[in-house]
């Protein structure tokens, strides 16, 4: 029987509000057993870009990463944000290990090819990207990996990868050794039918009603890559995917994704 592994991903809305981040880290510290945290970037990088006269560019919830943007997001994501999260967890007694994909060659990405849109220095992941055996060793040592969204291509080039994609890819790769639960945590109670009503949670989403919700415009923008990654993870053997409020990870209001 596989031991359980819980992977949590938190987004920028939680990172940007320090009291919320501290409360999430407290709740995360109380999760028993092996666990992994993946974090997004928050507004800090975009604010610095604006101050430097660089307009942040987003398409369908994904950032366009040119060379100047890559420098800034690397500083914020792999530097300031990652180490603040790690320090916060150490304070709570969690022996956290902050990682980019380049560290230990733990995640290796491929630069996204230019098609209709040139995403710049954005890294895509495949089934060979995750060094699952090394991550397993970290977990066996009692370490809690904390991943930022910066990866590398193995040839010296850093790349920016959507944090939801990283979380889902980790879940898929580690599902060979663990019974994996993947949690996408943000500032809402789950997937909502009305974005202005945090109680309008859709408790269960299957591939069929996911298509219907997209066609109705209920699911759009930044939620699209989150759900696409979630269903991809389920297809690869991840046991459970949950979308929930970062401050209520033990609550009953949440959205569970399943195949039927």
As annotated, the binding site includes: 41-42, 63, 160
d(CA 156, CA 115): 23
d(CA 5, CA 8): 10
Q: Count H helices and E strands in the chain, helices first.
A: 9, 14
The DSSP call for residue 2 is P
Residue showing tokens 């945590």: 185
Q: Give the HSE-up count for residue 83: Cα atoms under 13 Å, Cβ half-sphere.
A: 6
Q: Residue 210 corresponds to which tokens in the numbers above?
A: 């996911």
Q: Residue 165 corresponds to which tokens in the numbers above?
A: 């994609």
Do 144 and 82 touch, CB atoms closer than 8 A?
no
Residue showing tokens 């291509």: 153
Other C-beta atoms within 10 Å of 157: how many? 14
d(CA 163, CA 78): 12
Binding-site residues for substrate, in ranges, read 41-42, 63, 160
Helix boundaries (H) for 118-190: 132-140, 163-174
User: Which of 16, 48, 14 is closest to 28 using CA atoms?
Assistant: 14
| Phi, psi dihedrals of residue 100, rounded to the nearest 5° | -100, 170
Asked whether the CA dihedral 209, 211, 216, 220 is positive or negative, the reply is positive
């Amino acid at each position: 029987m596989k031991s359980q592994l819980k992977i949590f991903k938190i987004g920028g809305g939680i990172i940007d509000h320090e009291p919320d981040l501290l409360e999430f880290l407290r709740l995360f510290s109380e999760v028993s057993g092996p666990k992994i945290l993946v974090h997004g970037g928050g507004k800090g990088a975009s604010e610095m870009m604006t101050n430097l006269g660089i307009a942040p560019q987003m398409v369908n919830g994904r950032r366009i990463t040119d060379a100047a943007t890559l420098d800034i997001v690397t500083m914020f994501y792999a530097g300031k944000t990652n180490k603040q999260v790690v320090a916060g967890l150490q304070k709570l007694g969690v022996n956290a290990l902050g990682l980019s994909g380049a560290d230990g060659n733990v995640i290796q990405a491929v630069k996204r090819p230019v098609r209709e849109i040139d995403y710049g220095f954005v890294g895509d992941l495949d089934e060979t990207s995750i060094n699952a055996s090394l991550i397993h060793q970290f977990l066996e040592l009692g370490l809690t990996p904390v991943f930022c969204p910066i990866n590398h291509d193995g040839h010296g080039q850093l790349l920016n990868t959507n944090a939801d994609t990283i979380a889902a890819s980790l879940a898929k790769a580690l599902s060979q050794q663990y019974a994996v639960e993947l949690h996408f945590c943000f500032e809402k109670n789950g997937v909502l039918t009305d974005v202005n009503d945090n109680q309008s949670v859709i408790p269960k989403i299957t591939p069929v009603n996911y298509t219907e919700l997209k066609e109705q415009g209920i699911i759009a923008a930044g939620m699209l890559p989150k759900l696409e990654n979630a269903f991809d993870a389920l297809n690869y053997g991840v046991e459970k995917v949950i979308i929930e409020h970062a401050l209520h990870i033990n609550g009953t209001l949440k959205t569970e994704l399943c195949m039927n």
